[in-house]
Structure 1
Amino acid sequence: MRSTAILVLMSLTAALLPGAAPPKALPRLKVSENRRFLVTDDGRPFFYLADTAWELFHRLNREQAVHYLDIRAAQRFTAIQAVALAEEYGITEPNAYGDLPLIDTDPSRPAVTLGAKPGDPKQYDYWDHVDYIVDQANARGLYIAMLPTWGSWVNSGGTRDHAYLTPQNAQAYGEFLGKRYAKKGIIWVLGGDRNPAGVEATWRALAKGIAIGVSGKEDYDAVLMTFHPRGGQTSSTDFHNDAWLDFNMQQDGHGIPGVAKSWLKIAADYNRTPIKPVLDGEPLYEDHPLAFRAKDFGYSLDAHIRQYAYWDTFSGACGHTYGNHAIWQFFQPGRKRVNGPLMHWEQAAVRPGAAEMQYVRALLESRPYLSRVPDQALVVDALDGADYIAATRGDGYAFYYSAQGRKIKAHLGKISGTSLKAWWYNPRDGSAEDAGTVQNSGDQEFTPPSEGFSSDWVLVLDDASKGFAAPGTAAR
């Protein structure tokens, strides 16, 4: 893995050297024909693997941002969630270069200057800095999942909230953003950890403005858009039938994995009509106080993070979001701690949970992607809580995730093939072990290689006639 990461970083650096050809624009993204996944404009699967870098535009300088993006690109992330008008006083406290985003805190008056020369305070403004980070992310194959504003600047009910955005100015602000980033690799994420009840008109005006800015008219087919809800909620509650909402986003709220039962929430949105893709846009962060109660439960570990990722995707999610408690706020010496981050952001960027997310993506991409559906009927006894076993299948394969290495009693005969090639896939390092061949009928018990907390395993059963490569490796 280390040598692969070095090669990725070397290629990225070479592509960005002065005189090098500018990188190609990232392909446009859309919802798949079966309405379950995200794909590129030409129909290739896109696995949404994001990080919550909420304060990226607001708190990092150019060098720091590039360092962070290099790490996430090497870890095979595909998207970065970042907020234009950030939560931590992003409207009234300047960014790393002393710039504010708005004139007189008015969203209809973005603070833009002529020119964009780095180091020139009269030219390089707040939005030039956002441009730079977006371009650097796109050059590394990373889409920016851009939140135009945190929800606190639309709502006014919280102790720190203030409704800077209103139905009267939100469309103008949206048009500014849509026009500026129309040709960039952007996934639009409205919301930001607040209840939209009572302010739906502002969010709808913002969505309309973005669409007009991108395409010149209210064409929601020209953008890919969702909504980030408050903790424990889903975008479907308020906006499922809105034309601008392409896929549903949930926020699990940092609960203890087996208690939160995220698989039930994903399944609920998966089964809604009209059909829309779904994913968790903010599950439990790595190194976060479990259920916000560090004294009682301690802090989350990479094993907790993996549980959310596999439970969610096997239950029907079209992707997943990682987060680290120090990363979202980009905590560093001299900065106020929010809810007790354990380390500085540069240390947090290489925590094990972040690197392990690529193995979820690798596994799902190594088998026919767009045919995959959740199917708990594959399991005779799915157990519950931290032991829960989630199952999913596609064209010629089935996956079973045992969160703590408990025995899996599989109900066979639901995928093609007279015999099945079995594998044990390791979510900790992406390796696969040959587990022999079985007949594709009846019920059969499989015992994972190890058991207990942090001994999670994926049982892979392939139609032997398909000749699939080992799970987690590229298709032949």
Structure 2
Amino acid sequence: MSRLKIHENKRGFTLEGRNFFYLADTVWSAFTSITLEEWEDYLERRWVQGFNVLQINTMPQWDRCMSDVGVYPFYTEDGQKFDFTKWDEAYYERARQMCRMAVDKGFQLALVVLWLNYVPGTWGSRLVDLNVMPEEFVSTYAEKIVDVFDEFDPIYVVSGDTDFDTEEAVSYYEAALKMVCEKSPQSLKTMHIKRGYDYIPEQFLDRLDFYMYQSGHFAEGQDMAYLLAEKFYRDYPVKPIVNAEPCYEQMGYSRKMYGRFQPYDLRKAAWSGILSGACAGVTYGAHGVWNWKKTGKKANPVLGEGFDEAFPAWEAIHFPGAWDYGFIANFLEANGIEELIPAQKLLVEKSEQIRMAVTNDERYLIYVPYTTKLVIGKELNGYYGKAVDLVTGRTARVRLTPEVGETSVSMHDFKGDGLIVLERY
């Protein structure tokens, strides 16, 4: 039986009876691109920082950086085109070894079964149709994935970065999901969908344990971090919600637009989603880690979404934003926060970028991208306020002024983005 379970409140997870905040790192290319020595160092780094889930593609990532590891799940002459009739068992043995190392370190695995470029009728396979999988092989492949990895109690992420805009794509993912459910009924299952997408076919919903959405890497559209959280919270059957791909640190903006995401952008995406309905967890990404860039190795000819050049993995793994995400999990755990209920309507006349939620015991959390005075549409007598500087971790008192039907919250003193906490004395 899977040790990771859905919380009784249906909005989060538990692990061995304790609350579990899904704090993942994106390392899609692990099985094809990372040496075992690099993997050991990587695991230690992310464990120290507080991460507890690793998101990995079971197939070669289509827009990964090329490496000299030279292992693939199927026979290939060039590392690009695969022969789906010839398994390479050495790939799976090595992947199993990496999974064992990760699980022994304390990580949960979230393994993608079928990334979109392997599926016809998706936006990815329309760009590159080099390795579209034969439909009759989908069930066989999904069965293989369960046979190889099920002993590690993974989360099965049945789709990767996909849309469901064609009957052909839906048919492929139906075959994969059906087989995973048959072979591994006890495991948790979900689907990773494309940036800004808010549609999962109804036929899948009763077999998915939680929702993943992707606010993604478009400079214009970062409001998807909270808009998609609100959509899934409001319109879909109650399940945990995770932003499984917010903007990655130092990722170049999509479509070759000039600019890169900074730690502030990542914090904003994370907290905006968490306080808008996606309180089950969030995923970090570093540009150079997800695709495992190595100095001197050529880029993959598949450009995917047209990002700027990645940093070497050995440098990207030390980006500071990873600590900001570790802080999120530590803060929620230290304060005993199990569920966050969106409370946006209580904010009076303020930007949608400011996000607010309330706990079951009526503590209020407000994410403020820039310091400003706030008015809460509720009289909070007997409450006090504090602000957490999300850059330094410092805290400061915040003055509350209750009036008839509302409460004024003074501007906090920090110059960066902050988290305001209001709770009873």
Return the TM-score normalized by structure 1. Answer: 0.78
Hey, what's the Cα distance between the residues in 1 that align with 2:207 and 2:68?
A: 33
Per the alignment, residue 9 of structure 1 pairs with none
Per the alignment, residue 369 of structure 2 pairs with 403
Does the CA contact (< 8 Å) of 2:216 and 2:222 recur in 1?
no
Cα 1:324–1:445 change in 2 (3 A) is same
Q: 2:233 aligns with which of 270, 273, 293?
A: 270
The SS at the match of 2:114 is: coil
Cα 1:406–1:161 change in 2 (3 A) is farther
**1:438 positional shift:** 6.3
**1:304 positional shift:** 0.6
Hey, what's the Cα distance between the residues in 1 that align with 2:66 and 2:368?
A: 47
Does the CA contact (< 8 Å) of 1:419 and 1:437 recur in 2?
no
**1:256 positional shift:** 2.7
Per the alignment, residue 27 of structure 2 pairs with 53
**Residue pairs, 1:351-370, within 5 angstroms:** 351-370=319-338
Higher mean C-alpha displacement, 422-431 vs 274-283 = 422-431
Post-superposition CA distance 1:147-204 (Å, at most 9, x none): 1232101226423224543442222222222132223141111222232332212212
**1:71 positional shift:** 1.1
Hey, what's the Cα distance between the residues in 1 that align with 2:66 and 2:87?
A: 14
Does the CA contact (< 8 Å) of 1:108 and 1:169 recur in 2?
no
Q: List runs of 5+ in structure 2 lacking aligned partners.
A: 77-81
Cα 1:225–1:106 change in 2 (3 A) is farther
Hey, what's the Cα distance between the residues in 1 that align with 2:93 and 2:148?
A: 11
Per the alignment, residue 385 of structure 2 pairs with 422
Does the CA contact (< 8 Å) of 2:12 and 2:339 recur in 1?
no
Confirm or deny that 1:68 pairs with 2:42: yes
Hey, what's the Cα distance between the residues in 2 that align with 1:345 and 1:331?
A: 5
What count of residue pairs does the alignment treat as equivalent?
406
Return the TM-score normalized by structure 2. Answer: 0.87
The higher relative CO (CA closer than 8 Å, separation ≥ 6) is in 2
Percent identity over the alignment?
A: 23
**1:275 positional shift:** 1.4
Hey, what's the Cα distance between the residues in 1 that align with 2:293 and 2:51?
A: 21
Counterpart residue identity of residue 32, structure 1: H
Q: 1:111 aligns with which of 88, 97, 114?
A: 88
Hey, what's the Cα distance between the residues in 2 that align with 1:291 and 1:171?
A: 33
Q: 2:112 aligns with which of 147, 164, 168?
A: 147
Hey, what's the Cα distance between the residues in 2 that align with 1:448 and 1:108?
A: 62
Hey, what's the Cα distance between the residues in 1 that align with 2:177 and 2:310?
A: 37
Hey, what's the Cα distance between the residues in 1 that align with 2:114 and 2:169?
A: 14
Cα 1:89–1:313 change in 2 (3 A) is closer
Post-superposition CA distance 1:26-77 (Å, at most 9, x none): 96112222221122253x2211111221111110110011111111111111
**Residue pairs, 1:12-411, within 5 angstroms:** 28-40=3-15, 42=17, 44-88=18-62, 96-103=68-75, 105=82, 110-112=87-89, 125-155=90-120, 157-162=125-130, 164-196=132-164, 197=166, 198-214=168-184, 219=185, 222-234=186-198, 236-239=199-202, 241-256=204-219, 260-295=223-258, 298-317=259-278, 318-337=280-299, 339-384=307-352, 388-394=353-359, 395-411=361-377
The SS at the match of 2:195 is: coil
Counterpart residue identity of residue 443, structure 1: T
**1:449 positional shift:** 1.3
Does the CA contact (< 8 Å) of 1:402 and 1:408 recur in 2?
no
Hey, what's the Cα distance between the residues in 1 that align with 2:378 and 2:221?
A: 26
**Residue pairs, 1:426-437, within 5 angstroms:** 426-435=389-398
Hey, what's the Cα distance between the residues in 1 that align with 2:135 and 2:202?
A: 16
Per the alignment, residue 79 of structure 2 pairs with none
Post-superposition CA distance 1:206-261 (Å, at most 9, x none): 122223333xxxx3xx1111111122213x43357533221111122312377534
Per the alignment, residue 8 of structure 1 pairs with none
Does the CA contact (< 8 Å) of 1:419 and 1:439 recur in 2?
no
Cα 1:126–1:261 change in 2 (3 A) is closer
Higher mean C-alpha displacement, 171-180 vs 286-295 = 286-295
Does the CA contact (< 8 Å) of 1:51 and 1:323 recur in 2?
yes
Cα 1:181–1:448 change in 2 (3 A) is same
**1:412 positional shift:** 3.5
Hey, what's the Cα distance between the residues in 2 that align with 1:376 and 1:89?
A: 38
Cα 1:412–1:420 change in 2 (3 A) is same
Does the CA contact (< 8 Å) of 2:396 and 2:412 recur in 1?
no
Counterpart residue identity of residue 79, structure 1: V
Give RMSD over aligned pairs. 2.7
